[in-house]
Amino acid sequence: MSIEQSDKNFIGSIPALYEEYLVPLIFDVYAEKMADKVTSFNPKKVLELAAGTGVATKALSQKSITGLDLTATDLNQDMLNQASLYCQNERISWQQADALELPCDANTFDLVMCQFGVMFFPDRVKAYREAARVLKPGGKLVFSVWDSLEHNTLAKIVTQSLAFLYPNKPPSFLARVPYAYSNLTLISNELEQAGFTENTEFLLEKEVSLASSSKIPAIAYCQGTPLRLEIEKLGSVSLTQATEYVSESIMKKLGSGPLESSIQAYLITATLL
């Protein structure tokens, strides 16, 4: 499925809601895994793509890597502004940048990292080629992608609920973008086209998402992601009403008290030829 312009727009109030609700719900645990994997290579110069509100940035900056120089980039300046509010560290430089046209010199970085961002790139091979261009020979590209909706309970419930609420034109952001890139053969082929070796490492990471109530994931997904823009554009049901409906649907599926649900992703390491 194609990437629509609005799918990349983490703007307005979305970054703050993303940080408050979505980061602790599904991103924190994977940020630590990302930081541990990157640390295992002991890189000095690291470039982060699609850093968002800086959850993986912060996790890596707190690791014991002597001389770490981390440049964190994102397409959306609003996300970087949110990140810099809570993640001040002399090791980190924040920079607005498009992953398809990086403002970086060739052969500069030991490692490029990207947590749950490559799914948003309209031309992934081009983005991988840009990563390859700025990497030193033998450098690493470490990134993560979500497994399909079938393995991510909350996102699946949200998608199904909204399909019922908007039967004529179901909001498809979650299925179309963040949970649409789990074909490992496709990922391997695209990386090889960009100049990485065929020995890509895929680690399947199964975790549990925790929330105090069904309202948390409803707000997180419906208001803290570009799904919000899709809901608002449809207009037949207000954003508040849609969020409440999703919350009720989650409660019916998972219960009214504190929630536990499965989340699943791949942590991927590619090596430049």
Architecture of domain 5-271: 3-Layer(aba) Sandwich (3.40)
Interhelix angle for 215-223 vs 227-234, to 10°? 80
Is residue 225 within 8 A of residue 22, CB to CB? The reply is yes
Q: What are phi and psi of 198, to 5 degrees?
A: -80, -5
Distance between CA atoms of residues 152 and 71, nearest Å:
30
Q: Is 11 in a helix, a strand, or coil?
A: coil
Determine which helix (DSSP H) or strand (DSSP E) holds 190, and give its type and residue range: helix 184-193
Distance between CA atoms of residues 64 and 9, nearest Å:
34
pLDDT at 251: 98
pLDDT in tens, 26-56: 999 999 999 999 999 999 999 999 999 999 9
pLDDT at 3: 54
Distance between CA atoms of residues 219 and 252, nearest Å:
16
Distance between CA atoms of residues 24 and 19, nearest Å:
8
Report, as an integer, the average pLDDT of 98-112.
98
Q: What are phi and psi of 123, to 5 degrees?
A: -135, 95
pLDDT at 34: 98
Average pLDDT score over the chain? 95
pLDDT in tens, 120-168: 999 999 999 999 999 999 999 999 999 999 999 999 999 999 999 999 9
The pLDDT confidence band at residue 104, using thresholds 50, 70 and 90, is: very high
Q: In what order do the strands lie in the sheet with 259-271?
A: 92-96, 69-74, 45-48, 109-115, 135-146, 259-271, 201-211
pLDDT in tens, 194-228: 999 999 999 999 999 999 999 999 999 999 999 99
pLDDT at 91: 87
Residue 86: Cβ within 10 Å count: 12
Query: Residue 82 carries which side chain, given as an amino acid letter?
Result: Q
Distance between CA atoms of residues 132 and 153, nearest Å:
34
DSSP conformation class of 217? H
The pLDDT confidence band at residue 96, using thresholds 50, 70 and 90, is: very high
pLDDT at 8: 74
pLDDT at 1: 41
